[in-house]
Amino acid sequence: MEKTYSLTAHYDEFQEVKYVSKYSSSGALPNGFNLQLGTAGAKKPRCGLPRWSRREICLLSGLVFAAGLCAILGCILVLKYLALDQAAYCLEGCQERRAFTKASRFIATNIDPTIDPCKDFYSFACGGWLRRHGIPEDKLIYGTIAAIGEQNEEKLQRLLQQPVRRPYRASAERKVKEFYRSCLDMTEIDRLGAWPMLEVIEDCGGWDMGALGKQGRWDLDELFYKTQGVYSTTVFFALTVNLDSKNSSRYIIRIDQDGLTLSERTLYLGQDDESEKITISEYDDLRRDINSMYNKVTLGELQRITPNLKWKRLLDRIFHERFSEDEEVVLLATDYMQQVSEIIQTTPIRILHNYMLWRIAVVLSEHLSTPFRDAIHEFAKEMEGAEKPMELAKTCLSQANKHFGMALGALFVEEYFSSTSKAKVQQLVEDIKHILDRRLEELEWMDEETQRAARAKLKHMMVMIGYPDFLLNPGAVDKEYEFEVHQKTYFKNILHSIRFNIKLSVKKIRQEVDKSA
């Protein structure tokens, strides 16, 4: 406890000394010193102290006051020095102690001490948290990670609502904030209604069931290009550019099967318990055997496997190249693609065309007006059980993160992420790597060749902590989003982002793999 210092305490003691002769018959001061007032045969003195003593005591009082003031000032200086010393030390220790205190408080409030951990450890560890938190109506699952995510969402929403600090045309900050605001502008979105989607349908040749449909001009090859290369919709198959699973130094075109609208096969065909067990077992066995899935073929071989799809024409248009017949691609679902080829051959073009347009509409309709969004929610409610649609602000934040993840991350890092914290974590990881390298040297059960391979792997391990450094460079972030964004054209903003990302993806096919990215 800190000492307290009072000038009045010293002043009261002085007053007691001054007036002691008035209240004490013994002539002794309370401090034990005797004050000699006169001899027995002398003239009786006046009541009180003589005048010269008064002047002396006044001088004494001044000295006492000055001494007390000096003592107080000295104590203040000492306390100030100690405070500065503690502040310097706090940079090293206090933050950690505060973090430990916060963590221990979090654990203490979230456990249920009434539960025996030996009988039900989950309820013991999480019971307190479960009592205080329910699953929100707009979510299917909820946990501590989701709760932390909500805190970050609130921070990001505040950042997006702030004025644009870099308002120039190419500014990624301007684009992500205008994109977010265009998403929130339901008045404008509802005013446009279905027209943005009708323009897409017209661009794809029109629907047979509407006045725009003209069967004579339908071109299935053109529609495959539009679905995959313009609107990024996976119809019948997924066409992507990925790292080669067996050679991580290169990118390669990958073709895989695509799902239908519903999430599970049983929702279409039904399935009894026994056949479900067999199917799951077969699927697990297949996924364990990566070699049975990984099928690297040339374009010429792919054309022979699926003769009813014009692969070279499709890939040439999407990638803006002239591929040779020897260009390699990875085919992950050979049997499936053979059956797709057969379906394309045997199904009327009108049905194929309408189905492909419907798939585009399913993907893009979430960006349309309120009636479309209500229908999507009713469907999701039946399929997944979500009682309420997600709040508009959260939906728009999710879309901003999907289409402008780096720009949004740059705003967050600039405002909330300490470079000092990143450096500390990086040093921690380097220390762990150093200790692990020493431990590998000491392992007796590992032969020298394996040990060298393990240490080489450790040495070349790349550490990516927190965020890439280029996020702190606005010009570098701007280059990630070289497409137009306007505050009143939400649906077009989505299409511009989709097309730009397709452009970035197809460029990878001839690029070096940057493993530090």
pLDDT at residue number 217: 63
With beta carbons less than 8 A apart as the criterion, state whether 433 and 177 touch. no
Q: Does pLDDT of 77 surpass 80?
A: no
Tell me, what's the pLDDT at 273?
58
pLDDT at 420: 85
Q: Token pair for residue 448? A: 């020298």
| Three-state DSSP class for residue 241 | strand
Q: How far is it, in rounded angstroms, from Cα 304 to Cα 294?
A: 18
Tell me the DSSP string of 377-415: HHHHHHHH---SPPPHHHHHHHHHHHHSHHHHHHHHHHH
SS3 511: coil
Decide if pLDDT at 36 tops 50. no
Lowest mean pLDDT among 166-170, 256-260, 352-356, 439-443: 256-260
According to the model, what pLDDT value does residue 231 have?
A: 96
**Among 79-88, 105-114, 172-181, the range of highest mean pLDDT:** 172-181
**Which residue would you say has higher pLDDT here, 408 or 83?**
408
Mean local confidence (pLDDT), 90-116: 79
For 47, residues 6+ apart whose C-beta sits below 8 A from its C-beta are 21, 22
Look up residue 375 and give its two tokens.
């229908």
Residues 6+ apart with CB under 8 A from 333: 237, 255, 256, 257, 293
Looking at the predicted structure, is the pLDDT value of residue 235 above 80? yes
d(C-alpha 467, C-alpha 476), whole Å? 14
- Specify the range with the lowest mean pLDDT, choosing from 128-132, 269-273, 300-304: 269-273
pLDDT of residue 207: 82
Tell me the sheet residues that pair with 494.
none
User: What are the pLDDT digits (tens) for 463-516?
Assistant: 888 889 899 999 999 999 999 999 999 999 999 999 999 999 999 998 888 776
Per-residue confidence at 82, pLDDT binned at 50, 70, 90? very low
The yes-or-no verdict on residue 403 having pLDDT over 60 is yes
Question: So what's the pLDDT on residue 287?
Answer: 52
**What is the model's pLDDT at position 148?**
87
Tell me the pLDDT band of 405, cut-offs 50, 70 and 90. very high
Task: Please give the pLDDT value at position 145.
Answer: 87
pLDDT band at 208 (very low <50, low <70, confident <90, very high): confident
The whole-number pLDDT of residue 102 equals 84
Q: DSSP labels for 276-333?
A: HHHHHHHHHHHHH-HHHH-EEEEHHHHHHHSTTS-HHHHHHHHHTS---TT-EEEES-
- How confident is the model at residue 372, as a pLDDT? 96
What does the mean pLDDT of the chain come to? 80
Torsion of Cα atoms, 225 then 227 then 231 then 235, to 10°: -140
Q: Model confidence at 89, in pLDDT bands (50, 70, 90)?
A: very low
Residue ranges of domains in the chain: 423-466
Predicted local confidence at residue 515, as pLDDT: 73
CB 230 within 8 A of CB 501: no
* CB within 8 Å of 375: residues ≥ 6 apart: 365
Tell whether the model's pLDDT for residue 15 goes beyond 50.
no
186 band by pLDDT with thresholds 50, 70 and 90: very high
pLDDT at residue number 341: 96
- Percent of the chain past pLDDT 70, that is, above it, reads 74
Measured CA to CA, the distance from residue 247 to residue 249 in angstroms comes to 5
The conformation of residue 33, written as its DSSP 8-state character, comes to -
- Among residues 244, 241, 238, the alpha carbon closest in space to that of 256 is found at 238
User: What is the per-residue pLDDT across 323-379, written as a single tens digit (0 to 9) for each?
Assistant: 999 999 999 989 999 999 999 999 999 999 999 999 999 999 999 999 999 999 998
pLDDT over 50 at 39, yes or no: no
Of the candidates 412, 403, 391, 416, the residue with the CA atom closest to the CA atom of residue 156 = 412
Q: How is the beta sheet containing 295-298 ordered, strand by strand?
A: 237-244, 247-257, 328-331, 295-298
E strands, 169-262, in order: 237-244, 247-257
